[in-house]
């Protein structure tokens, strides 16, 4: 068994948006966009549900934020697209879509209730170190505006400076800077750096 990262999620309010098919198509486009950068194996189910396995477990938290940022970014006027995501870290059989990581992620999502981003692992150090802070991160993402999500999504995927992000989004550099500040980009980057390192330690243990 090797340590794997699996994300299981479902779209929020998928039955009450004006165009459910557009919402589902939006999810598929975002997952397709993220497939190569994060080495994803993608499965969709139950209409509005999805599960992805990452090639590199250390990118799990970053990928989860990218999915949510992408969805919120694509929200039509007057609506909010978003997803609840459970991050499962554990063993998984090589070449098979089963094992501890899949169970932890799937069962974790079922038990999340009002939480929108959660970590589920049997590793006590990882769970203690990253579990609570991930709930705080969820509270930040829950309050993102579309513009804040767009800025952070571009920041994650392109990694360019604010001027290049501004040109991509058709906004001023000042507007992008303010959006990243309001969206707590600096703190989120620190969170991703720390959790990524912790995951590397789990994988290498």
- What CATH number does the domain containing 164 carry? 3.30.70.270
Band (148; pLDDT cuts 50, 70, 90): very high
pLDDT of 113 reads 86
pLDDT at 80 over 60: yes
- How many beta carbons lie within 10 A of that of residue 169, not counting itself? 17
**Coil vs helix vs strand at 14:** coil
Structural domain for 91, as ranges: 2-204
The tally of domains found in the chain comes to: 1
Q: Residue 79 phi/psi, 5° resolution? A: -130, 165
pLDDT at 23: 96
Give, to the nearest 10 degrees, the angle between helix 185-204 and helix 146-158: 50
Q: How many helices (H) and strands (E) does the chain have?
A: 8, 5
Q: Torsion over CA of 101, 202, 62 and 163, rounded to 10 degrees?
A: -160
pLDDT at 97: 65
Average pLDDT score over residue span 82-111: 87
Q: How far is CA 148 from CA 133, 165, 175, 181, 185, in A?
A: 20, 12, 10, 9, 9
Q: With a cut of 60, say whether residue 95 has pLDDT above it.
A: no
Say if residues 12 and 84 touch (Cβ distance below 8 Å): yes
The pLDDT tens digits of the residues spanning 13-71 come to 998 999 999 999 999 999 999 999 999 999 988 778 999 999 999 999 999 999 999 99
């Amino acid at each position: 068994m090797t340590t794997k990262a699996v994300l299981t999620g479902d779209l929020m309010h998928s039955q009450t948006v004006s165009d459910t098919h557009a919402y589902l198509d939006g999810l598929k486009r975002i997952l397709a966009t993220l497939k190569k950068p994060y080495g994803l194996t993608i499965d969709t189910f139950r209409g509005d549900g999805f599960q992805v396995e990452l090639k590199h477990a250390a990118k799990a938290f970053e990928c989860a934020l990218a999915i949510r940022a992408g969805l919120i970014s694509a929200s039509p006027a007057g609506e909010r697209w978003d997803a609840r995501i459970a991050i499962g870290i554990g063993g998984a059989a090589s070449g098979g879509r089963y094992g501890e990581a899949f169970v932890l992620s799937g069962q974790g999502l079922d038990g999340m209730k009002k939480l929108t981003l959660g970590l589920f692992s049997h590793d006590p150090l990882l769970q203690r170190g990253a579990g609570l802070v991930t709930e705080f991160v969820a509270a930040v993402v829950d309050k993102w505006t579309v513009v804040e999500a767009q800025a952070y999504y571009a920041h994650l995927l392109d990694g360019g400076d604010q001027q290049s992000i501004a040109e991509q989004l058709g906004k001023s550099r000042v507007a992008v800077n303010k959006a990243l500040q309001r969206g707590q980009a600096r703190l989120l980057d620190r969170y991703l750096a720390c959790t990524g390192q912790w995951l590397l330690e789990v994988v290498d243990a």
